Structures are given as C-alpha cells and as structure tokens.
C-alpha cells in the first residue's frame, strides 16, 4: 500500500475490539429471549404465546444482525492486519477518512456502496 495512512491502526483496532465485545455482551444478555417458546396451553394463553413467539422472532432477527456485524468487524480487523484497511473492496480506491471514522468496519467507498 503506497498511500499514506490517515488513520491510527491501534485506535482502529481498539474501536473494532470495543464494538466486538459490546456485541458479544449484548448477545449473551439476550440469549433467554431467543429460547424456544413454551407451547403448553395449560400454562400460557394463546395471545401470550403469540406475543412470546413474536418477541422470540424479533430477538432472533436482532441476533442475526449482531452476528453479521461481528463478521464485518472480523473482516475489517483482517484487512487492518493485512495492510488493506481503508481500501474499497470493490474498486480499490481509498475510503474517505470520515467514512472510516463513522464506521471502522466499512468495506466499500461511497460510490461502490450505492
């Protein structure tokens, strides 16, 4: 990479790590919300079960988004280690500094993200 870096790799790595830990903590805290719903009609009414199923579905969707974000964070950390951080994966252009500051795991420049 012949371009002069406009970011501090240690700060980027620390920001990625902070977000990774936060997402993992949130995932662990919400594990009960993703458990299977009890379908015993004797203990819970139909509407309560429907609410529980809806809450479970929302918790599972949120977990899927968390896992996707964790994958993006891991990919950004690999690019940082490989010296490719800050380069657009699609066109190879330099990603704007403000864009990287806003989202350290971003992989595409503004033009390619459209």
pLDDT, one tens digit per residue, over 64-81 is 999 999 999 999 999 999
Does residue 114 belong to any structural domain of this protein? no
Does residue 43 belong to any structural domain of this protein? yes
Quick one: DSSP state of residue 83?
Answer: T
3-state secondary structure of 94: strand
Q: Distance between alpha carbon 103 and the CA centroid of its chain, in Å?
A: 10
Does residue 104 belong to any structural domain of this protein? no
Kindly give the parts of the chain with pLDDT less than 50. Answer: 1-2
pTM: 0.81
Distance CA 61, CA 103 (A): 21
The token pair that represents 101 in the structure block: 């500051």
Domain count, the chain: 1
Distance CA 13, CA 105 (A): 10
pLDDT of amino acid 2: 43
Does residue 93 belong to any structural domain of this protein? no
pLDDT of amino acid 51: 85
pLDDT of amino acid 16: 97
Residues 6 or more apart in contact with residue 67 via CB below 8 angstroms? 27
- Domain span including residue 70: 9-85
Q: What angle do CA 90, 93, 97 make, to 5 degrees?
A: 115
């Amino acid at each position: 990479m012949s371009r002069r870096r406009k970011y501090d790799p240690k700060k980027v790595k620390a920001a990625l790590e902070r977000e990774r830990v936060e997402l993992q903590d949130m995932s662990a805290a919400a594990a009960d919300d993703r458990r299977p719903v009890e379908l015993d009609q004797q203990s819970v009414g139909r509407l309560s079960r429907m609410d529980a199923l809806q809450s479970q579905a929302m918790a599972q969707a949120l977990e899927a988004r968390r896992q996707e974000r964790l994958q993006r964070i891991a990919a950004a950390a690999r690019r940082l280690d490989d010296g490719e951080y800050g380069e657009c994966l699609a066109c190879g252009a330099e990603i704007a500094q403000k864009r990287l500051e806003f989202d350290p795991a971003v992989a595409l420049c503004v033009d390619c993200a459209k």
